[in-house]
Every structure is written in C-alpha cells, then in structure tokens.
Amino acid sequence: EGWTAPALSGRSPAPLAWTQQDLVDFMRTGYSANHGVAAGPMAPVIEEGLSRLPHADLQAIAVYLRSYHPEAAAQAAAATLNAQAERQVEPLSSQGARLFSGACMACHAQEKGAQMAGVRPSLALNTNLFAEAPDNAIRVVLDGIQRPANAELGYMPGFRHNLNDAQIAILLNYLRQHYAGQAPWPDLAAQVGRLRAETEQK
C-alpha cells in the first residue's frame, strides 16, 4: 500500500531509542511524543487490536521488543533535538522553507503558535524523515492521516491536490536535511510521482 514498516530492533531509524514507556504509549494510543504517530496500515492495528489489550500485555510486549535493542548509547534529549531543528528553520530562506511554512508549520511547529486540534507530532523526532525509504513521508503528505489510530490524535489534511511532485520532493528533502540532518533522498520527485500514481483513488 505504499508504506514501509521500520525495523523494531536496534536497526530502527528512530533518532531516539524507544523506551519501555514510549512503546507502551504508542501501542495504547497510537502516539508517542518522542516518535510520532501510527499512520497508514498501523493505525487500525492500534485501534482494533493493541489499544484493547490489557496493560500487562502491552508491558510484556514492550519488554520483549526492548530486548532487541542494544543498551542505548547516551543520546540527545528530545527537547534538544526539537530546539536544534527549529533554530535551523529560517522560514523564507529557500523554496523548501517557504513550502513548509505555508503548508505545514501551523500544525507542526513545536515552539511557536497555538496548538491546533489533535497532537502536534515533532518532525525532528519523526522516524520517517530518518528512514532510508521516503515512502511513508510521501504517503503522509499526499493523503494526510484520514483515519487516526485514535480520535484524539486529530486528522491531517492531504496535499495531493495542492502540491505537485516537485514541490513535495523539495519540501520533504528540506525537512530531511533540516530536521533530520540527513543527506537528501535521491530522485525524490520521481518517487513521489510513482507513489502518487500507485495510490490514486480510482
């Protein structure tokens, strides 16, 4: 369906290691402030399955998953990563920055502006921006999140009809560089075009 499932082991691309509490929060509510939301096909797994399990079961699953993580090396705190990313965002300095401030920042800035409905997932901590495959990031921008893992998370609008392939590629590579500090994804506009065609509602 155009989504990539990240590794749950120590090879997870997440910038912060998953703690026991992060895993339990994510499985129970579909959201961890240190990692982001359960989107795409993961949302119904939370909604119809994991969120209904007894707390003790979630704790046990989290212990099991944590056993695949090597002891986390010292790492920057979430607040530091968020603050660094926001300092680097200079709203009108490039086309990517302009697209971001026009289309995304109202809901996603961590330090500025009023809280909109739902959660405000930090893009500086978002696994999808650190991942080798851009697919999940592209899917979220194309179609938003129409079916949240739980209603309190809120909805995200899709940009399929507002942004073209080149604009989405510029925007996502801007976020990948500025928020995740990673090299840009190669050939990104073509990948946006491919996923756009594959996931077009007939």
Give the span between the Cα atoms of 201 and 50, in whole angstroms.
29
Choose the binding region for ligand HEC from 31-39, 51-59, 89-97, 178-186 (rule: CB under 6 A). 31-39
Question: Does the protein bind ligand HEC through residue 157 (CB under 6 A)?
Answer: yes
Burial of 1 (0-12, 13-18, 19+ CB in 10 A): exposed
Annotate each residue in 123-142 with x if it binds ligand HEC (CB under 6 A) or - if it does not, as one string: ---x-x--------x--xx-
Chain-centre distance of CA 84, in angstroms?
Answer: 17
Burial of 164 (0-12, 13-18, 19+ CB in 10 A): middle
Give the span between the Cα atoms of 15 and 35, in whole angstroms.
8
For residue 18, the minimal CB distance to ligand HEC (Å) is: 13
Give, in order, the Cα–Cα distances in Å from 145 to each of 11, 134, 151.
26, 16, 11
Which of residues 23, 156, 169, 192 is near ligand HEC by CB under 6 A? 156
The answer to whether the beta carbons of residues 118 and 80 sit under 8 Å apart is no
- Residue with tokens 């993580």, as numbered in its chain: 69
Choose the binding region for ligand HEC from 12-20, 60-68, 75-83, 111-119 (rule: CB under 6 A). 111-119
For residue 8, the minimal CB distance to ligand HEC (Å) is: 15
For residue 56, the minimal CB distance to ligand HEC (Å) is: 26
Give the span between the Cα atoms of 142 and 179, in whole angstroms.
19
Which of residues 27, 34, 89, 108 is near ligand HEC by CB under 6 A? 108
For residue 5, the minimal CB distance to ligand HEC (Å) is: 12
Pick 145 or 195: Cβ nearer ligand HEC: 145
Angle at 69 between CA 68 and CA 74, to 5 degrees: 170
Which of residues 118, 158, 184, 193 is near ligand HEC by CB under 6 A? 118
Residues of this chain that bind ligand HEC (CB under 6 A):
36-37, 39, 103-104, 106-108, 116, 118-119, 121, 126, 128, 137, 140-141, 145, 148, 153-154, 156-157, 159
